[in-house]
Amino acid sequence: MAARTVLVLGGGVGGLVAVRELRHKLEPHDRVVLVEREPDYLFQPSLLWLMVGRRRRADLSRPMSALLAPGVELVRAEVRGIDPAGCSVGTSAGRLTGDGMLVALGATLAPEASPGFAEAAHNIFTLDGALGCARALEGFRGGRLVVAVAGLPYKCPAAPYEAALLLDDELRRRGVRGPAEIELYTPEPQPMPVAGPAMGEAVSRMLEARSIRFHPRSPIERFEPETREIVLADGARVGYDLLVGVPPHRAPSALRDSGLVNDAGWVMVDPRTLRTSFERVYAVGDATSITLANGKPLPKAGVFAHAEAVAAVGGLAAALAGATSGQAFDGHGYCWLETGEGRAAFADGDFYAEPDPVVALRRPGRVWHAGKVLFERYWLSSGLAHRLSAAALSGAGGLVGVRAEL
């Protein structure tokens, strides 16, 4: 049998899982090629710990090449254009062509899309932003600390709420919480709205218990670093002494004119198989758009990228062999919500349930925090927490209704 080549675009969670799965499923003489511009893989969930000084820069990343299974080829290049009909991709290192393709380019941070954000805020989705916040906390002795969501959608739906809770914990630990105010502004109607009203109410109560003022339905028009103010869409002005923010996210520009995307620029896929409208071209993770039964989008989160990649590779490998795959993405997902004091809450559930997702939230505890630390260490030591599932972590069977054990 002639050797086949599969191109995987993007070395985030979805891409790394995909190349490992492909290397396992394809024949030894087949080529698995990962195209990624960054030399290092960054474990983004730990940026929030870096933000409050609980991690060092070196703790969060590993060389991309060290996380790849033997036999995976790494092309260090930027993806510049995609031709799904020809199963080829234009890169800064030249054009590559394959027999199959999996797109895992993620979502692009676009701080420039919100006027003044880059100059005003510590961006909690970047290494420099998290480190800048950690340095700023060293000299913070009180005042108004604001967590601001500059636009929707954004990846990791729990991130701004975790940030507020961790910042509260750190200020208490340093003995300066008394003279400090913490406020959170977001366009969302509630925390993590896709998970339903019970989840939102539970997280809101967490914030209230820590005296964190929550301002939902507060879209931001611009940031004014000169006056240290946020200007809301209704014209109201909010002053700040320390500002951390979630920047706007955009679809990767390389997807433009590919024929793969919707009007917003996100890749359209079958929600079960992750196949695009082109044969042998699949897409997973934050670059995709999947609409749930209630009309809301599937959250952009690494756990979904991971599970989608497993399903997509099953389909792609079967298609290359002229067979039918029995694998499908079932919409199940989970996440931790760090609450400080060495504790975390844990949520898991079925996001494909109808008419709404069915999600359970476990009360904060040290065991869930330990689980997140274990997940971080396992991922960065072996490259992939491939068999670490929500069921294994929670011991949960089927979920009935929404439980908010708080």
Contact 284, 305 (CB under 8 A): yes
Rounded distance between C-alpha atoms, residue 96 and residue 73, angstroms: 12
CA neighbours closer than 13 Å in the CB half-sphere of residue 168: 24
Q: What angle do CA 73, 76, 77 make, to 5 degrees?
A: 125
Rounded distance between C-alpha atoms, residue 246 and residue 159, angstroms: 8
pTM for this one?
0.93
Q: Under the phi-then-psi rule, with left for phi > 0, alpha for psi from -120 to 50, and beta for the rest, what region is 307?
A: alpha
Q: Can you give the pLDDT at residue 268?
A: 98
Rounded distance between C-alpha atoms, residue 368 and residue 373, angstroms: 9
Contact 273, 328 (CB under 8 A): yes
The candidate with the shortest Cα–Cα distance to 80, out of 101, 98, 99, 105, is 105
Whether domain 108-249 has CATH 3.30.450.20: no
Instruction: Please list the pLDDT of the chain residue by residue as tens digits (406 residues).
Output: 689 999 999 999 999 999 999 999 999 999 999 999 999 999 999 999 999 999 999 999 999 999 999 999 999 999 999 999 999 999 999 999 999 999 999 999 999 999 999 999 999 999 999 999 999 999 999 999 999 999 999 999 999 999 999 999 999 999 999 999 999 999 999 999 999 999 999 999 999 999 999 999 999 999 999 999 999 999 999 999 999 999 999 999 999 999 999 999 999 999 999 999 999 999 999 999 999 999 999 999 999 999 999 999 999 999 999 998 889 999 999 999 999 999 999 999 999 999 999 999 999 999 999 999 998 988 888 544 444 444 444 443 333 333 333 3
Q: Can you give the pLDDT at residue 1?
A: 66
Where do the CATH 3.50.50.60 domains begin and end in the chain? Answer: 5-107+251-320, 108-249
Under CATH, to which class is 5-107+251-320 assigned? alpha beta
DSSP 28-97: TTSEEEEEES-SEEE-GGGHHHHHTTSS-GGGGEEEGGGGSPTTEEEEE--EEEEETTTTEEEETTEEEE
Rounded distance between C-alpha atoms, residue 282 and residue 340, angstroms: 39
Phi and psi at residue 174, to the nearest 5°: -90, -5
Rounded distance between C-alpha atoms, residue 20 and residue 181, angstroms: 46
DSSP state at residue 229: E
Q: Can you give the pLDDT at residue 382?
A: 57
Mutual angle of helices 159-173 and 127-138, in 10-degree steps: 30
SS3 state of residue 316: helix
Contact 67, 74 (CB under 8 A): no
